[in-house]
Each structure stands twice: as C-alpha cells, then as structure tokens.
Amino acid sequence: MNISCVVVTYNRLELLKENIKSLLNQTYAPNKIYIINNCSTDGTAGYLAQFNNHNKITVVNLPKNIGGAGGFNHGTKLAVKEGAGYVWLMDDDTIPEPDALEHLVKTATAETSVGFVCSRVIWTSGCEHMMNKPKIAPEECANNNVVKCLSCTFVSILIPSAVIRKVGLPIAEYFIWHDDIEFTQRIVSHGYKGYLDNSSIVVHKTPTNYGASIITAPDTAYWRFYYQIRNQMATMRMQRNYLSFLFSSLNKYRLYLRRVSKRTSNQDKFRKEIKRGFIDGLKFKPKIEFVD
C-alpha cells in the first residue's frame, strides 16, 4: 500500500517536531509525509529546511496562510496526484500512538466500500477530546472497537485516494472549520462507509480540552465563529433545497445568538462575528474541486 500523510502546520513548531517524530516511528510506516507550512512566522520554515533532501518528507512552504481547509486541500491534491493510494490527514498538534496507522490500515482494507477511517482522539489527560468526537451512526454501539460513523474531523483520518477522486477535495474556501465535517458527510452521501477505529489512538495537544462551543470558547477565538456559521450554512445549501436552507440557517443563527448570551465575557465580539457570518453565508457558494 502507498500511504501518504498530510500534516498542515501554522506557528506550532514544537508540536510539529513532536508530530514528525511520531510519524517516523509508526509501526506501519507511511510512504511519504507532506508538511504543508501555512506561512508560519515562528521559524518553522527554517526548521523544515533540514528535510529538503529527505527520502520520505516533502515540505511545502506556502506563500500565504490559506487556512487549515486550504492546507488540507493543497496537501491532499498533491498526495493523490503523486500516486498515494491512501491519504492520512492530521493537524500539527496531533501526536499519533506508534500503532495508530497500523490499525487504520487494517480497518480501511477490510472491505471495498470504506470511505474513511478515523482515530480515537484523546487529550493529554487521556480522556476523550471534546473537539474531535465523530458523529456515530444511530444504529451503532459506541463501545464497539470499530464503529460506523457519519462524519469526523481531520485529526487523524485515512481516506482512499479512489474515494477522493470520486467525491472531490476538501473545500479550500472554507479557510477553517467545518471543512472536515462537510468532506466526510460528502463521502458518506456518495454511498461509502465511514468508521471510527478505537484501537487507533492519537493525542490532540490543544492547550485545553474544549469543543467548538461558542459558550465556552476562549475570548480570543471570536473570529473563528464567523467561519463556523458561514461554512455550516454553505454545507446546508449543498445538501438541501433553498427553502429548507433558509429556514435552517435562520434557526441556526438564532441558536448561536442565544448561546452567545450565555457567555460570561466578550459577548459583543462573538455576536458581531455570528451576524457577519450569517449575512455572508446567505451568498457564500464555494465550489468543490476535483483532482485532475
């Protein structure tokens, strides 16, 4: 099997070093590792220069920050074009256990209808990470080792290149947030199966164990919620008729405003971004790009 790993990084050099080390020490080694440097300003490019002639690591230094969504789009496209049979996606603060890929491969190759397999994501304390809970299929038992799921994040997910060629790439225009959910939902909507393999474990080393909740998000994260509601609306537009899209979008907007009112601080900035994201979401129509 030809497996390429795509890591998108931005200004987290120390975590990136740990990530690269964990990838090079996998029991089932990826054939190639693409490091997509999103124009980091913390010395990442200088550090990565040592891998310029590496037989396994390919460094791509982007001229500007195109967001996680843009980075995953770019890296996935490159990996597929250069012959990867499977693409393993993750952020730079993802630290896979040594046998993480081995378990993903076993599940991904068990049947031909597999569209993606994701890892169990834990935080540094060992508990489940709130940000990276896959959406489990309603008929499944969450305690099983391999569980069918309907969507997941890009914090360790293995995807066959044939599936990527069929359904298209992650949407670069999303910039951040919801690109992974839309992409995995798209895969399932094409008739493929998604799975969570609980034996494949990665540690997501965020500063705190938080989900994408507007109630508990750090005060400095207000700008991210512009992309959250805008991108969620774009996804709904693709999946529903226009009237259903409008109705659902309005309900989501109202829900976000109610949740903002429960914050203990910085409500005004969060409210402003939600309003801006809703307005832009009414006209935001990103295109799905396919591998040539």
Mean pLDDT along residues 258-262: 97
Beta bridge partners of 195: 117, 148
Task: Map tokens 């591998």 to a residue.
Answer: 291
Tokens for 287? 């295109």
Per-residue pLDDT of 4-49, as tens digits, reads 999 999 999 999 999 999 999 999 999 999 999 999 999 999 999 9
- CB neighbour burial string for 165-181, b if at least 16 within 10 angstroms, e if fewer: eebbbbbbbbbbbbbbb
Angstrom distance (rounded) from CA 253 to CA 166:
33
Per-residue pLDDT of 212-238, as tens digits, reads 899 999 899 999 999 999 999 999 999
Indicate whether 177 pLDDT > 90.
yes
Asked if 291 and 169 count as a contact pair (C-beta separation under 8 A), the reply is yes
What percentage of the chain exceeds 70 in pLDDT? 99
Chain mean pLDDT for the chain: 97
Task: Map tokens 């440097």 to a residue.
Answer: 37
Tokens for 227? 């992309």
Beta bridge partners of 275: none
- pLDDT score recorded for residue 30: 99
Indicate whether 141 pLDDT > 90.
no
Is pLDDT larger for residue 143 or for residue 13? Answer: 13
SS (H, E, C) the chain: CCEEEEEEECCCHHHHHHHHHHHHCCCCCCCEEEEEECCCCCCHHHHHHHHCCCCCEEEEECCCCCHHHHHHHHHHHHHHHCCCCEEEEEECCEEECCCHHHHHHHHHCCCCCEEEEEEEEECCCCCECHHHCCEECCCCCCCCCEEEEEECCCCCEEEEHHHHHHHCCCCHHHCCCCHHHHHHHHHHHCCCEEEEEEEEEEEECCCCCCCCCCCCCCHHHCCHHHHHHHHHHHHHHHHCCHHHHHHHHHHHHHHHHHHHCCCCCCHHHHHHHHHHHHHHHCCCCCCCCCCC
Angstrom distance (rounded) from CA 3 to CA 80:
10
Per-residue pLDDT of 90-136, as tens digits, reads 999 999 999 999 999 999 999 999 999 999 999 999 999 999 999 99
- pLDDT score recorded for residue 142: 63
- pLDDT score recorded for residue 211: 82
Model confidence at 210, pLDDT cuts 50, 70, 90, reads confident
- pLDDT score recorded for residue 116: 99
Exposure on the CB side of residue 286, measured as CA atoms within 13 A: 27
Q: Residue 223: left if φ>0, alpha if ψ -120 to 50, beta else—which one?
A: alpha
